[in-house]
Structure 1
Amino acid sequence: MEKEYIKRLLTSYLWVGLTFLLNIGRQIVLIPFILIAWGSETYAYWLILISTTNLLYTINHGYLQYIGNEINLHYHQSIQKSVSIFKSAFLILTIQSLMLILLMLTLAFPKIFTVISNIDTEDLIARQVVQAFIILGLSSIIYYGMTGLVGRLYEPVGKIYSLYRFNFLSQFVEAFVFVIVIVLKSTLVQAALAVALIRMLSIVYFGYQIAISYPDFYPWWKGGSIKSGFQDFKKSLLLVYSNFIERLQYEGVTLFVSNYLATSIVPVYSTIRTIGNSAISSISLFVNPTVPDIQKGVANKQYHRVIQLLFLNITVSSLVVNILFLILAPFIDNLYQLWTGDELKFDSKFYLAISYYSIIYCVNYNYFAFLKGINLTKEVLTLVAVKVIVIFFTSIINV
């Protein structure tokens, strides 16, 4: 592999690695503070808010991923084709965002939100949970819509590390502000406002940088075709379904735990899942930076390079995940109690289940990233549906 590629890959690893460490540090530092400042009940409400808003923006995530893949695959053959795809997609994204906002406002009705979250109506009103949901939901739709589409312009030119750098810096500032929010024992609404403000300021700066760096694509809203964009949207539907189902498996379990077990169990579930998420995040750390080059290899029919990258990803990510769980195994119970300040009880069976899932997910993720990257949407949807059905049925049996 050429030196320039290795340099870009290592730069991407650096920023993704820093983001990974930041997220680990944020979980380790913030969760004890949150449990002390807010208590487990308010923390459970916050987790439910995050899960619900995450599901909102996931609705158009599959479409944005499909469009990003198309831009990457066509960029090396025809830049004008990529520009046309992008500008048409921006118009569709605007329409989608407005529809998501309407959906969010519908879900925000107290009677509906109570059904979704299992939060008592009196608590919903007293703690202004719905207001916090609207603030978080609106900022999520705008922030993730922009980074999910406009941010993909870094990929075909080999500058995906710039996107990772932005993600790290914005998350660092958001984490810093959230620490202040927790120390001040702010309400859910105040916490949501702080997060939303950081996201909006970040996206203004991010959009400006993209606009001046890639003038061929700017202005984003001019020169596109709603008809063409809608045709691409129809082609992306299978990927939209698969991404939403996959995210439903991830975030929906939090709502499942809240509704069918108890709201109080959500923090236990979330904290143990955080350990598994750390392993899963380490996988994406190694895999995601190579996806644009895999797409380039497919577009240029350099299949030997594609196989090299897949082999590298599977080898390195599998090694990292297995070593992580081997190191944690003897100490995890004591570390968990220290981490949560004895506020939560460690569930060893659930931890083992998360560990097994993460190890299997490692190889699984590499193939999913490849299939999604080249828009093999039917294959992705089939595999996701089978995986989610198995997970939910085994979860219900074990409840």
Structure 2
Amino acid sequence: MEDDPLLTADEAAELLGVRRQTIYAYVSRGQLQRHSEPGTRQSRFRQSDLDAMAKGDRARQPGRSSPSNRTAVTSIVGGRLLYRERDAVDIAGALSFEQAAEWLWRAHEGAAPAWRPSARPGSEAPALPLPDQCLPLDRLKIAAAGLGAVDPLRYDLSPHAVLAVARSLLPALVLALPAQSDGAPPPAADAGFAAALWPRLTASAAGDDRARLLDQALILSADHGLAPSTRAVRTAASVAADPYSVALTGMSVASGLRHGGSSLGVHSLLTDIGRPDRVEAVVSDHLRRGAALPGFGQPRYEGPDPRAGFLLGRLLGDRDADPDRLAAVREVVALVRERNDEHPSIEFALGALCFLHDMVRGAGEAVFVLARCVGWIAHALEEYTDDAH
């Protein structure tokens, strides 16, 4: 139609304020229809479809049954990840995880409300007997469902109520993970979220430096735009699912091996390597089996993943860590960089964190989903309040 022009991929990307690759990602997900120009292999996109995406396509979403395609929570600009227009790496260097969460939720700084387990009645999940081999993420999913089941006010979707749930849900989820050492003293009553989480991931002593390292890993994992788990979360929130169900939805999608679960593969690979002289042999055997190396490449950045660069810099600068393990991590990164010109992702950094500090199997997944609960709640709030449109 003459009044509905066809635009090129570059023009479509400019109109929506996204990268060209994102336009084709919309096509692959069935969110945008591609039209072929006669006589060429070039793709064209109807301006009406693009305008509808830019507006959230409210006219085609009666009853708000579909999520928005836009968000003000995070963006990636020039190789930088921004949390509400502020560099996520800068936030990791300046704020605690609780303060970063408040920034993502409410876009303001200042001391976060105390996140203490059992901060209010009913904030502990019902106890269920689970076998020891259960991964931490299995426990977190069961806990999220249980916590929702015992909250009679879970369908109050006002911002104040949702944030109250978020601030009690996160520490309650930590309590769902068993302590890794019977003899370790419990964290102080006023300890931060990361300090409370550390002894449930490893029997290794924490100390302020390592608690702060975990704090920063949580901050850098908190959100990454409209990732698959976040899209699922926004779909759940768009039909008024309660915040516990929103978190459970995100956890279920994030458990995929190509999403939050990839740190599990990194941890296993590094554990198989163990020391630097085994890097080439183990990597070679891994590739011979036809398996891709986990934790490398992040298509949303043209260069290195800034989250991984920051976190690996902190990890590899720990003089108290096992020197053989530190050297093994460095050798893997250098080998892949030299042979494939690929950079490590945040999932590789999480797997390295687990490896260097003797964390339980699946600890990286747990860190990822606990952190991402913050981003999921921020996106759910956009859907609940319609701020994104």
TM above 0.5, yes or no, is: no
Q: Quick one: higher RCO (CA 8 Å, sep 6+), 1 or 2? A: 1
Higher strand share: 2
TM-score, length-normalised on structure 2?
0.31
TM-score, length-normalised on structure 1?
0.31
Higher helix share: 1
